Amino acid sequence: MNGLAGTLDAELLAAAGAQEIPATLDAFLAQVERRAFRVAELNLRNREDALDAVQDAMLRLVGHYRDKPATEWAPLFWGILRRRIVDLQRRRKVRSIVVGWLGGGRDDEGDELPSWDPADHGPGPQDRVQDAQSWHDLSAALRGLPQRQREAFTLRMLEELDVAETAQAMGCSEGSVKTHLSRAMQRLREQLEDWR
């Protein structure tokens, strides 16, 4: 294999065997912080909202699940983060609808009112990725996926959770995880055909 798909597959397979369970909750949070931010920013498309979502997820994990075994931290954390991201997306949508109702979506001069969706401030952590173009293309393709497919892909392939952990984090069955992941992989293969 060559291109982005081959690189991702090789990296994921190599990392899957090397993943260790951190000894402390602080070590776990330090280990997952950067990846969590990338996932949140990818879904929320706003740096500040992504930072807030990750911080909230970390605080909730520490506050409510500190006494859980280390093997449960990853699915608990990713489930908390996923729910926080969904909450922020819902709030954003509700604000947009309310603004539309209150002002009819237009000001007195007939110009469209600004959307509550924050502006895309460009790449953040993607700058650290060697191949910025491939990361950009992958990010765009992931944003085009339905939410559940995107969640299954990021948790299974990027965060390397197993099927059971992913199902727990997503709040669905293992079969649903497999179905969402299969559909996501198929759509990504079609969209990223040029990288093969």
Total Cβ atoms within 10 A of residue 16: 10
Closest of 180, 109, 184 to residue 141, by C-alpha? 184
Give the pLDDT of residue 146: 92
d(CA 108, CA 73): 52
- Model confidence at 13: pLDDT above 50: no
Contacts 24+ apart (CB under 8 A), 17-25: 19/160, 21/70, 21/71, 22/70, 22/73, 23/70, 25/61, 25/62, 25/66, 25/70, 25/73
Pure H helices in 19-153: 25-44, 47-65, 70-103, 132-143, 147-153
- Model confidence at 1: pLDDT above 50: no
Q: Model pTM?
A: 0.51
Over the stretch 81-125, which tens digit does the pLDDT of each residue have? 999 999 988 888 777 665 555 544 554 455 565 554 554 455 444
| Overall residue count recorded for the chain in this entry | 196
Give the pLDDT of residue 6: 44
